[in-house]
Copies of this chain bind each other. A is one copy, B any other.
């Protein structure tokens, strides 16, 4: 179960850590309904300048959150991109105002199945099914609230890259530059398949109870852990797993001929699965994976991806990793081709890393340099 639950903070100011805003909405949703009110939890780092021209929006991945460069309130661990974001760092908060909101559907304070519906009870599975674009539209409401018209840059990896692409397609005039790392313009059948396994694992857990489990604190941890384990395999390359774990045994000299975690990889996966349940909500996992599976940017533009970027003035940069089999290089290249067809300014690089999809969160050679160059040239 989750160790603690986020509680709304007073919104004394619009900027800083642990911000939370309730916007009246309504937010029209792709699924046809509306969301109101719209709660958004977010962090900002650095000061917004006078003409609000130095704002960088960072979009987080599926299981990440707004704590991009601040300690996680549940785990106490440093922000997920603390190495990249901060004073004097690659994304320099002495120069830029970095904003990172928790996506709607999430479980760190933004509207989602765990937050309360207008009737004062948690939404649970009554929360509407949302899309990546719905998440983006909610973020646009936040930027309106913050008084930020145009963004110097939008940056995101994995699902964050989807949001970044959706930002550029939905609000081209608000995005001067867009950096998309290890991402894709549509979820493939294999991507959907892995998410479906995770959802089935959660829904098979009797503690899930149709998503109505918030009252007594007994949460579907076993199912969520299995979902996380299955997903985690897709974040690592076969090569990386072999280098890191191979067939090494876990704290033992020989196989035990039992069902304990004999192998290090088993022990690692179990830890990943069960520690995840301390910080993530199972229903949020259902909603966010669903939004990702629905993600197909071309679909909203007559099936032609290039049309999503027609006439854009945004400057794009895409990065993929050679061992990423979740969103392989070919997916980034498809976006680059579409951007070329749309006449957009775009640069692209495939980086070498043994660590698969996870490389975007790691100290991958070449990545810092690319982001540094992107940020330097960004809003121009």
Report A173-208 residues with CB < 8 Å from chain B CB: 186-190, 192-194, 196-197, 199-201, 203-206
Which listed residue, B186, B196, B236, B269, touches A196 by the CB 8 Å rule? B269
A92 contacts the other chain (Cβ, under 8 Å)? no
Contacts of A269 in B (CB 8 A): 193, 196-197, 200
Closest approach, in angstroms, between the C-beta of A373 and any C-beta of chain B? Answer: 32
What mask results when residues 227 to 248 of chain A are scored 1 for a CB within 8 Å of chain B, else 0?
0011001001010011011110
The answer on a CB contact under 8 Å between A31 and B204 is no
Q: Select one of B188, B201, B265 contacting A189, CB under 8 A.
A: B265
Contact B247 A129 (CB under 8 A): no
Contact B188 A241 (CB under 8 A): yes
The verdict on A310 contacting chain B, using a C-beta distance below 8 Å, is no
B residues near A263, Cβ cutoff 8 Å:
189, 192, 196, 293
Interface of A is mostly: helix
Is A307 engaged at the interface, CB distance under 8 Å to the other chain? no
A95 close to chain B: CB less than 8 A: no
A286 proximal to B (CB < 8 A): yes
Which residues from B are CB-within-8-Å of A238? 188-190, 325
Question: 8 Å CB contacts to B: which residues of A242-290?
Answer: 242, 244-247, 255, 257-259, 261, 263, 265-266, 269-270, 273, 286, 290
Asked if A68 lies at the interface with its beta carbon under 8 angstroms from chain B, I say no
Q: Which residues of B contact A293 (CB under 8 A)?
A: 263
* Contacts known (A233-B193, A263-B293, A296-B247); A200 close to B225, Cβ less than 8 A: yes
- Size category, A interface: 35 or more
Q: Does A222 contact B (CB under 8 A)?
A: yes
Q: How far is the CB of A232 from chain B (nearest CB, A)?
A: 8
A186 to B233, CA, bound (A): 19
- Residue contact A241 to B200, C-beta cutoff 8 Å: no
Known: A196-B229, A259-B290. A241 touches B204 (CB 8 A): no
**CB pair A196 B266 closer than 8 Å:** yes
In the assembled complex, how far is the CB of residue A339 from the closest CB belonging to chain B, in whole angstroms?
A: 21
What residues of B have a CB within 8 angstroms of the CB of A296 in the complex?
Answer: 247
Which chain B residues lie closer than 8 Å to A302 at the CB level? none
CB distance from A225 to the nearest CB of B (A): 7
Whether A73 is near chain B, meaning CB under 8 Å from some CB there, is no
In the complex, whether A294 has a CB less than 8 A from a CB of chain B is yes
Complex: A195 Cα to B263 Cα, angstroms: 12
Could you tell me the distance in whole angstroms from the C-beta of A237 to the nearest C-beta in chain B? 8
